Amino acid sequence: MPLLLKIMLVPFLLVIALLAGLITGYSIIGNGSAVDVFDLNTWKHMYDLVFG
């Protein structure tokens, strides 16, 4: 496998793993809707809870 492909593949897989973890954590563990993970208001609310 060429080096450039490896360099591009690692960040792509990390982003996929991050999204899968967010969806799993928010929808299955947190009993929320999986679509709400991508809602900006959800993240604003979490930010306000932590830093507000």
Q: What is 1-52 written as a DSSP string?
A: --HHHHHHHHHHHHHHHHHHHHHIIIIIIS---GGGGG-HHHHHHHHHHHH-
Is the pLDDT assigned to residue 23 strictly greater than 90? yes
The chain-wide mean pLDDT, for the chain, equals 93
Of the chain, the percentage scoring pLDDT greater than 70 comes to 100
pTM score of the predicted model: 0.72
Segment 24-48 mean pLDDT: 91
Which comes out higher in pLDDT, residue 48 or 36? 48
Q: Which of the four pLDDT bands, split at 50, 70 and 90, describes residue 1? A: confident
Query: What is the residue extent of each domain of the chain?
Result: 3-51
d(C-alpha 18, C-alpha 3), whole Å = 23
